């Protein structure tokens, strides 16, 4: 085991035995929100998607933070999980609806927030529906609140604007070292009567669409996360696995990060290794999520601490 990996793990183990520090969480939340606003200024017609993603990632690192996950820049019917491959030449199309999803990390404390930029103005109501749904949902958050009640309000808001909530996406609990943990907060009334608990950290994440209300897996996969310890014989794959373990541990990462760090001209070996590791159940992959009828998708997201009678939003 490398000394770097040992140091990381010792640090995380020590952190996780300490009392939860909500001040650190608020610091991470503010950094995430500031980076999101910085990224908004980079989203322009013709801008390279990789420049937006890496610009925001560099901004956070320049402020002394790591990344909770690769910056997502998802266009039109792509709801989430698009981050650029190494050398990506894709640009923001004219009149695009762009979802920007950003999270800072400090140790094991994780931030998560998102916004939608409508470059044409034609989808202002769709964006407004997502933002209003988030605002109303936040106003309902308190200890004892049932998650399906929050979902019911977000669905009601979507319908009032003439849109559909995306039913197979939603908000989530946020725990140290785990961005999607515990509670699931639906975008509609799914009948789940799980109650929020005081002190719990959650992210509410309405997705609205003029399409079917469901997403499916696209062909593009650029985000991965370590989930196990593989028994791999191939030398190249073992080396990539060790690199992932030493640099990203169990946090999500982008394939371009590996290629950039290793200064490789081709991603063939990386792709091969990632495929083998995923097949061995050592990695989870996150395909781009695409609206099933190619409907336009808007997203809004904030992270908060559940309190007895309300909540404190940290991504502000």
Residue tagged active-site, from 180, 192, 267, 284: 180
Active site residue 18: no
Catalytic residue among 88, 131, 155, 172: 172
8 catalytic per annotation: no
Catalytic-role residue among 54, 118, 131, 301: 301
Q: CA 292 to CA 260: how far, in whole Å?
A: 33
Q: Is 112 a catalytic residue?
A: yes
101 a catalytic residue: yes
**Helices within the chain (DSSP H only):** 3-17, 22-40, 49-62, 124-140, 147-160, 235-247, 255-262, 268-279
- Looking at 27, 34, 101, 222, which residue is catalytic? 101
Question: CA–CA separation, 116 vs 283, rounded Å?
Answer: 29
Measured distance CA(134)–CA(128) in Å, rounded: 10
Buried b (16+ CB within 10 A) or exposed e, 216-232: eebeebbbbbbeeebeb
Q: How many Å apart are CA 197 and CA 184, to the nearest integer?
A: 13
Catalytic residue list contains 222: no
Assign 220 to helix, strand or coil: strand
Beta-strand relationship, 97-102 and 104-106: unpaired
What is the SS3 assignment for 17-44? HCCCCHHHHHHHHHHHHHHHHHHHCCCC
Is 172 considered catalytic here?
yes
Q: Which residues are catalytic, by number?
A: 101, 112, 172, 180, 205, 301
């Amino acid at each position: 085991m490398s000394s770097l990996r040992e140091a990381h793990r010792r640090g995380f183990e020590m952190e996780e035995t300490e009392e939860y520090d909500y001040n650190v969480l608020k610091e991470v939340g503010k950094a995430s929100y500031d980076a999101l606003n910085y990224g908004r200024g980079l989203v322009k017609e013709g801008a390279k998607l990789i420049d937006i993603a890496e610009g925001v990632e560099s901004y956070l690192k320049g402020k002394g933070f790591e990344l909770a996950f690769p910056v997502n820049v998802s266009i039109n019917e792509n709801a989430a999980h698009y981050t650029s491959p190494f050398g990506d030449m894709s640009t923001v199309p004219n009149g695009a609806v762009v979802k920007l999803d950003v999270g800072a990390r400090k140790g094991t404390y994780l931030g998560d927030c998102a916004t939608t930029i409508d470059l044409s103005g034609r989808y202002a109501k769709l964006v407004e529906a997502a933002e209003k749904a988030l605002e109303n949902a936040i106003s309902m958050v308190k200890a004892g609140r049932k998650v399906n009640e929050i979902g019911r309000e977000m669905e009601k808001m979507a319908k009032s604007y003439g849109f559909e909530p995306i039913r197979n996406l939603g908000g989530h609990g946020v725990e140290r070292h785990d961005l999607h943990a515990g509670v699931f907060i639906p975008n509609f009334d799914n009948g789940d009567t799980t109650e929020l608990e005081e002190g719990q950290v959650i992210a509410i994440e309405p997705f609205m669409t003029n399409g079917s209300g469901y997403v499916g897996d696209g062909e593009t996969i650029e985000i991965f996360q370590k989930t196990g310890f593989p028994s791999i014989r191939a030398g190249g794959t073992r080396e990539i696995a060790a690199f992932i373990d030493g640099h990203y541990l169990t946090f999500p990462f982008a394939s371009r990060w590996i290629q950039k760090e290793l200064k490789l001209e081709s991603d063939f070996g990386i792709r091969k290794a990632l495929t083998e590791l995923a097949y061995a159940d050592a990695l989870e992959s996150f395909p781009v999520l695409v609206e099933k009828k190619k409907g336009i998708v808007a997203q809004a997201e904030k992270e908060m601490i559940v309190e007895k009678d309300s909540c404190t939003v940290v991504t502000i």
